[in-house]
Amino acid sequence: MNPILRHHLMELPRKILVGYDVIQELGDFIHDLGFGHKVLIVSGAHVKRMIGENIDELLSSTEVSWCLVDSATMEQVKRVIDIAQNQNVHVLIGLGGGKSVDVAKLSAYKINLPFISVPTSASHDGMSSPFASIKGLDAPYSLVAKPPVGILADITLIANAPKRLLASGCGDLIAKITAVKDWELAKEEMGEYFGKYAANLARLSANLIIEESKKIGEGSRDSVRDVVEALISAGVAACIAGSSRPCSGSEHLFSHALDILAPGVGLHGEKCGMGTIIMAKLYDLGWEEIAASLKDVYAPTNAYELGIDPNAIVDAILFAPRIRPMRYTILHKLKLDRESAIKQATSVGVI
């Protein structure tokens, strides 16, 4: 019996601050969480150049060191752990897009330090989830870590990030539609634990993108806030589920397959969004509405827009179920052959 059927642990973020210019509150935010005065900020060179000075001023009463990372790899995690241990820091902060947050999150988890997430873009749900996406490991999917104890999401900063990142975040949210369907399927056919509340919460985040896609595409600041809150909520759904099931299904396996088959092409959420169109077709769900919403937010909906060879899309559909054989999804059920993968991808206009 799957042990998750009997019990699972829910670890949730303790404090979440979302709003315009809330970066100004960072000092109080860290202080109020009460972890001590030695802080290690994990960030990227670009973010440090843009706001590093401001952050140092905001944290002038705190002992701050920086560790700049340029990729989400285990080498970077080891570097962060070394610095954190040598300097006896009390708390780790991931300041930046996905990479910095992922590296800080996994480092904090490995040495049991509290972790605060300060996203500067909304490209995926890693800002709040208990999972970290690290490259170059045997398992090409997210690793289990702990959720951040605190999340500070400054909408002004995030709204200034390139629009492509926000569109990617929308793709990662729309993905919850097929992720939840796969989770339900695993319950029905494999007896897996299925948490209705976490599933509904994740679906709510996806529905928001479908309903608000036009406004998001028009670039209103309030819709940036909606996307950020939906991403936080989706991460919390994973915390409640005690697994990434509500957030990550066959469409994520497809995205991970592309990570391997065509490294460096497309953003995580872009690939997940495209995968959602294909998997929705396999479920006979409304894939047209999903594709239209992705178009509204200017996310890619076909191989050409993603900048990838259509053959790689077909290869990824076929390879995806092998990435996580134990995570039952529609792809494991249908066991598509090449001809049917081509037929399905063509029918939704992805190739």
Q: Which residues would be at the binding site for Zn ion (CB under 5 A)?
A: 124, 172
Q: How far is the CB of 79 from Zn ion (least distance, A)?
A: 25
Q: Any residues with CB less than 8 A from the CB of 151 and at least 6 apart, and which? A: 13, 15, 16, 17, 18, 116, 117, 118, 119, 127, 128, 232
Residue nearest to Zn ion (CB): 172
- Among residues 139, 147, 335, the alpha carbon closest in space to that of 232 is found at 147
Longest Cα separation, the chain: 63
Q: How far is the CB of 68 from Zn ion (least distance, A)?
A: 24
The nearest distance, CB 124 to Zn ion, in angstroms, is: 5
CB neighbours of 138 closer than 8 A, spacing ≥ 6?
none
Of 89 and 301, CB closest to Zn ion: 301
Minimum distance, C-beta of residue 126 to Zn ion, in the bound complex (Å): 7
Q: What are the start-end ranges of the H helices in 191-286?
A: 196-218, 221-241, 250-261, 268-282
* Residue 252 CB, nearest approach to Zn ion (Å): 6
HSE-CB for 267 with a 13 A CA cutoff: 25
Tell the smallest beta-carbon distance from residue 283 to Zn ion (Å): 18
Residue 109 per-residue DSSP state: H
Q: Please, what is the minimum distance in Å from the beta carbon of residue 57 to Zn ion?
A: 34
Give the Cα separation of 345 and 333 in Å (integer): 17
Which of 330, 325, 1 shows the shortest CA–CA distance to 184?
A: 330
Compare residues 172 and 182 and give the one whose CB is closer to Zn ion: 172
CA dist 127 → 1, 135, 200, 291, 316 (Å): 32, 17, 20, 25, 26
- What's the one-letter identity of residue 185? L
Q: How far apart are the first and last CA of the chain?
A: 40
- In angstroms, rounded to a whole number, what is the distance separating the alpha carbons of residues 301 and 291? 6
Q: How far is the CB of 48 from Zn ion (least distance, A)?
A: 26
